[in-house]
Structure 1
Amino acid sequence: MQGPFHRGGQRRPMAEINVVPFIDVMLVLLVIFMITAPMLTQGVQVDLPQATSEPIETPEDSDPIQVYVDPEGNYHLSLGGDTTAVTLDDLAERIAVILERRPDTPVMVHGDRQIAYGQVVTLMSTLQRAGVANVGLVSEPPQDE
């Protein structure tokens, strides 16, 4: 008597895939990314002013352009994790090129609390000349004492 898996002396091919090695590799990658992700955060150290405000909604598919003004008054441009020191003229040119390709990219300004108000106004004017319609000013929530 022949069973359902018997084919005249031939073995029926197994239709299941062993996923255990795949799971092992995925768990190792998960651990590696969990350890390295906090180390990838880089930027310019600025002491942001504290203010109560609502978060700005940004599209999930686009990284914002981040402009930093450090305590010495130097400008830094950050897009997609790469931060470079720039002059105001170079900043305007780079942002204009980025906005030409992706006009909906949000621009966020991180200004140190120690810099003069006039320097932030100059930066905002430069961003406006570069074609930025809306600028987000980044602050930290106040610390309760």
Structure 2
Amino acid sequence: MSAVKSRGRGRRTINEINMVPFIDVMLVLLIIFMVTAPLITPSMIALPSVGKAPSQPAKPIQLLIDKEEKIQITEPGGKPVSVVMADVGSTVKRLQPAVPQGEQASPVVISADKSIKYETVVKVMDALQRAGVLRVGLSVQTGS
């Protein structure tokens, strides 16, 4: 029983953290930074020069295929023009403005009625590819 009694009278536990060593370390670090800060030479930064702003993206040429599989091409800001399947590629190529070397021509967006066969859309895309039109996209309707 005496061992149990002496155990209770032992060292008391400390409920808080001793902050003095932490403060000592922080003050030493502060002194080191204050001494070394004036010794650091400022480096020169190479700033970018002002260049030519990128051009606005070209507005797309709209290609609409309706229920009767009639094809209408609308250039940006223009009226729709009806064309036959054989002339799709040449008409789009004519409507695309001449672009300088390194820039891309205006894109073509195909919008088709949901009731037409997908084969018709593929034929139009094939005609555009044969004419050398590189940027072709499909317009889709999201939702139910």
TM-score of the aligned structures, taking structure 1 as reference length? 0.53
Which residue of the partner structure matches residue 133 of structure 1? 134
Deviation at 1:132, TM superposition (A): 1.3
CA distance in 2, matches of 1:100, 1:63: 11
Bigger relative contact order (CA 8 A; separation at least 6): 1
* Other-structure match for 1:53: none
Cα-to-partner distance string for 1:53-103 (whole Å, 9 max, x where unaligned)? xxxxxx744221110100110000000232111112222112122346145
Q: Is the 8 A contact 1:71 1:115 kept in 2?
A: yes
Identify the residue that residue 65 of structure 1 maps to in structure 2.
Answer: 61
Paired residue for 1:74, among 70, 76, 95?
Answer: 70
Unaligned runs of 5+ in 1: 1-58
Distance 1:64 1:87 in 2: 20
CA contact 1:108–1:135 (8 Å) conserved in 2? yes
Q: CA RMSD in A?
A: 1.9
Q: Distance in 1 between matches of 2:97 and 2:142?
A: 33
Q: Which segments of 5 or more consecutive residues in structure 2 lack a partner in the other structure?
A: 1-54
- Count of paired positions: 85
Q: Which runs of 4+ in 1 moved over 4 A?
A: none
The aligned counterpart of 2:90 is 93
2:73/2:83 contact within 8 Å kept: yes
Residue identity (%): 29
